[in-house]
Amino acid sequence: MARENIHLSQRPLRTPWAAAIAGILFAVLQIASTAMMQISVPEGSILQNDWMREQSDWIGLSLGLIPFAGIAFLWFIGVVRDRMGHMEDQFFSTLFFGSGLLYLAMTFATAAIAGVILVVYRYDPDLVINSGFYYFGQAMIYKFNNVYGIRMAGMFLTALGTIWVRTKLMPRWVALLTFLGALVLLIGIDINPWTTVVFPGLVLLISAYILVLNYGSRGRDGVSLDG
């Protein structure tokens, strides 16, 4: 007898639950990392350097969360695409997938630069400050994160909102909030640095809604949304 070909989404780890869990994990880790970084780094830090000695432990912890948040985010992308199935539009899915990967790459690059500065500073603070590497690194962090990374997050939400509208996998109010979040990320990062939490916040909302739908479906029919 020929071996039956079973798709991954038909195995015990169901797609809606996996998407929700991965999304919630990403959101919690990313928001925690952002909050610790925003609290630890003073405003106008590119012109200051004395704060690093006191806040280095918190910054190190914040940077340590980012790789795990990135892994959860990749899982979230994968299972959302799998959830779309035959309804997936190749054009918007390419934008969704590509902008998600670019956001992740920029986030990792930002964390790597910050990590290098922190390691060298712990070893020899004067070397970091006097060489000018501290100021150069700070400028690179700002460009990677605020100019490119957050805009890619905005593009990600724009594509995701369009997918929600076209596939009707999410209600219209979720799609509208997704588009609003994209607009905030595209134009609001220069106004307030806390704007960055909008992205994981929306992922958290979407993931929680998936969990609610899945739970409701199981309660009514005894089966999950994905069969």
pTM for the whole structure = 0.79
Burial annotation 87-100 (CB, 10 A radius, 16+ → b, else e): ebeeebbebbbebb
Is position 79 within any domain?
yes
CA angle 34, 38, 42 (to 5 degrees): 160
Domain that holds residue 147: 15-38+55-215
Q: How many domains does the chain have?
A: 1
Is position 110 within any domain?
yes
**Would you tell me the crossing angle of helices 133-142 and 90-123 to the nearest 10 degrees?**
160
Predicted confidence pLDDT, tens digits, the chain (227 residues): 444 454 544 444 455 677 778 899 999 999 999 888 888 776 655 545 566 666 777 888 889 999 999 999 998 888 787 777 677 777 877 888 899 999 999 999 999 998 888 888 878 877 777 777 778 888 888 888 888 899 999 999 999 999 888 888 888 999 999 999 999 998 877 777 788 899 999 999 988 888 887 665 554 544 344 44
What values do phi and psi take at 189, rounded to 5? -65, -30
CA distance 90 to 128: 47
Is position 21 within any domain?
yes
Is position 77 within any domain?
yes
Q: At 152, which amino acid appears?
A: M
